[in-house]
Amino acid sequence: MPDSIYIYGEVLQDRGVPEKEYAEYMDMTASAYGHFLREALEKGNYNATDLRSWHHDADPSELVTWVESHDTYCNAHESAGLTDDQIRMGWVFLTARDHGTPLFYSRPAGSTRENYWGNNRIGARGNDEFKHPEVVAVNHFRTAMAGQPETVTVSDNGAVVEVARGSKGAALVNLSSTVQKAKLATTLPDGTYTDAVHATTFKVKKGILEGKLQPLTSYILM
């Protein structure tokens, strides 16, 4: 039984927090990375902030990552302005990556900007976002890509992000609210790939991936 229990510490990063010392005992939340990711989502631009660094002293394999938490949504409302679509794009990006253990915050069902807690009750599940086809697809993708190295590639305007996992698969995310035509270097073999959720086709030729992405939409290619 102990081997099946995953233990981590909700250690919120701040000045003076002994991250390296805590890392000797448990995995920890990468709350600073969540902040930078939300900034990129707000601006619809991966390059608007630094998402290349994990902003943590612990090894990336020892981090629990999130797009938002109950603190940022219900308490501080820092992330409450982000739409479900924006949160989902952040989730696909985090989950497609090699490092970190992603944690999905399910916003309370019925919550609004006037009533952040919505129909929240102890033991009750939140809204239906965790069942969204794109969320389900990237969750399966993460399992299928275990052990594959990651390569993160970004379009020149920062709107489109590709997380390629070796030559086995890739996740594409349009962070922007407009249609984007992608032309990105990729580690995928040449060929035609069709996303299972949207049936959108992408082509890879001589190491370049091309295709069209709808606003705030993600695609999983395998």
Domain span at residue 217 reads 2-221
- φ, ψ for residue 79 (rounded to 5)? -100, 5
Out of 18-22, 66-70, 172-176, 215-219, pick the least confident: 18-22
> SS3 helix, strand, coil % of the chain, rounded to 5?
30, 25, 50
Q: Answer whether residue 1 shows pLDDT above 50.
A: no
In the chain, the number of structural domains is 1
With left for phi above 0 and alpha for psi between -120 and 50, is residue 14 left, alpha or beta? beta
pLDDT in the model for residue 2 = 58
Q: Over range 96-122, report the average pLDDT.
A: 90
Dihedral angle computed from the Cα positions of residues 175, 176, 180 and 182, in that order, rounded to the nearest 10 degrees = -30
pLDDT of residue 68: 97
Q: How far are the Cα atoms of 46, 145, 165 from residue 194, in angstroms, in the given order?
A: 24, 17, 17
Do residues 199 and 116 lie in contact, with contact meaning Cβ atoms separated by under 8 Å?
no
Q: How far apart are CA 83 and CA 161, in angstroms?
A: 19
Please report the pLDDT score of residue 90 as a whole number: 98
pLDDT tens, position by position, 72-92: 999 999 999 999 999 999 999
Helix or strand (DSSP H, E) at 183:
strand 180-185
Q: What is the CATH number of the domain that holds 41?
A: 3.20.20.80
Mean local confidence (pLDDT), 13-38: 88
What own/partner pairs with CB < 8 Å and gap ≥ 24 does 75-78 have? 77/116, 78/35, 78/38
Q: pLDDT-derived band of residue 124, with 50, 70 and 90 as boundaries?
A: confident
